[in-house]
Amino acid sequence: MTDVIRTSPKRKPLRERFEDQLSRGSKTPLGLWFWEIDRILLLLAFLLIGIGLVAVAAASPASAERYSDSTKQFAAMHYFWRQALWIGLSIPVLLVVSMLPVGFARRGAILGTAICVLLVGVAAFFGAEVNGARRWIGIGIASFQPSEFLKPLYIVTTAWLLSLRAKDPSLPVIPLTGVLTFVIAALLMKQPDFGQTMIFALVWVILLMLSGISTRAIGFLGGAGIAGVVAAYLFYDTARTRIDSFLFPDPEKAAAEHYQTDMAHAVLTGGGATGTGPGGGTVKFKLPEAHTDYIFSVMGEEFGLIACIVIALIYLAIVVRVLIKLLDEEDAFRLLAAAGLAAQFGIQAVINMAVNTGLAPSKGMTLPFISYGGSSMVALSIGMGLLLAFTRRNPYLKRSNYTVRGNNK
């Protein structure tokens, strides 16, 4: 009897197997994700993250000299190495969230909103006090800022509630989202965090307008917004102090009150159009929070105003890219969630850049994906992952068929 020698088929190299996973005909989860994801939007997000790492490297020596122990080895690049670790954690989070089915992402966001609202309250009353504000929970490297994580989750939850109006206009979802927004705003102002409060309020108004409220309701919201600002000025010390110091500076205290904004402007313009070159900035050493709130100014000094314009255009490109993709969106929830996340991303960037250029008072607002910060980086990665998940499109199906096949369930 002849012996039959069985040989197992030759296994393909890892590179070829990976290419098969991403081929157009692949039906694997990774292959479907790769062809459905907005790769341009993902590339723009990665571009900002890369620019951010360079920016933190430029700002790290100035901040390390001011805030960290200069006797430690590698102290000058202290914030750079920590930011690199946060990016190493955040990118997988972004990719995993972008792969989530829409229904799962929605339910997770609703649950996360409830948890984060509680944590924002805990931070407001029992959190660690930093610079006169209670915004953080935890100690040392384990601390985090719940409001950063709440922003994208709140937007998705509010978008889901408002999308229910398309099915049943009689549902009281507008008052419900108003109550949710009011509770969050009250907790944030207790911390106090006036900048974050403004973002939540602005995004809520934008979502209401996109959901199709009447012009009368829009007028009412405008009046309520003006009344809210007046009330904040009259009864909220933090808002009154910020507004007074920006619009009506005391001549005797002007130098102290405007030191940060004036120095930020000096750093921003210190490098001219093309900058002093990497590591060549000197004015940045006089700037507080160079690695967080005023990192845009550091980029201006070392890489020039042209680089700052490019960064602003990247933010604009992300927002415009999302809005263009939503022009033919037929599902109310996807439209509201994606538009709200893009609006939050854009508003936060505009506020930070306005502060750095002296067009707005200091608010302690990070520049998305560029400023140093673990909570900010991970939370923004969650938000961008959700945005990518809600804008995924099957390139072979019409939008009507894509919705009917259950991808929104």
How far apart (Å, rounded) are the C-alpha atoms in residues 124 and 375?
A: 16
Q: Please report the pLDDT score of residue 16 as a whole number.
A: 53
Asked whether the CA dihedral 26, 32, 34, 39 is positive or negative, the reply is: positive
Boundaries of every domain in the chain: 48-395
Q: Please report the pLDDT score of residue 350 as a whole number.
A: 95
What's the one-letter identity of residue 72? K
Count the Cβ atoms, other than its own, within 10 Å of residue 139.
8
Count the Cβ atoms, other than its own, within 10 Å of residue 186.
12
DSSP 3-state of 128: strand
Q: Please report the pLDDT score of residue 119 as a whole number.
A: 94
Q: In this structure, what token pair is assigned to residue 100?
A: 């989530």
Name the residue among 315, 349, 335 with its Cα closest to residue 156.
335
Q: Please report the pLDDT score of residue 403 as a whole number.
A: 47
Strands 133-136 and 128-130: antiparallel
Q: What is the pTM of this model?
A: 0.86
pLDDT by 10s per residue, the chain, length 409: 455 455 555 566 655 555 555 555 556 767 678 788 999 999 999 999 999 999 999 998 888 877 765 445 457 788 899 999 999 999 999 999 999 999 999 999 999 999 999 999 999 898 877 777 788 887 656 678 999 999 999 999 999 999 998 888 888 999 999 999 999 999 998 888 888 998 999 999 999 999 888 778 788 878 877 887 777 777 777 777 777 666 666 655 555 556 777 788 888 888 888 889 888 888 888 888 888 889 999 999 999 999 999 999 999 999 999 999 998 888 999 999 999 999 999 999 999 999 898 888 777 789 999 999 888 999 999 999 999 999 988 665 554 444 444 455 4
- Rg over CA atoms, the chain: 24
DSSP 3-state of 219: helix
Q: Please report the pLDDT score of residue 6 as a whole number.
A: 54
Name the residue among 310, 266, 264 with its Cα closest to residue 289.
264
DSSP 3-state of 329: coil
Contact 147, 120 (CB under 8 A): yes
Q: Please report the pLDDT score of residue 73 as a whole number.
A: 46
DSSP 3-state of 337: helix
Which helix (H) or strand (E) is 34 found in, with range? helix 29-36
Q: Please report the pLDDT score of residue 1 as a whole number.
A: 46
DSSP 3-state of 129: strand
DSSP one-letter string for 130-186: ETTEEEEBSSGGG-B-HHHHHHHHHHHHHHHHHHGGGT-TTS-HHHHHHHHHHHHHH
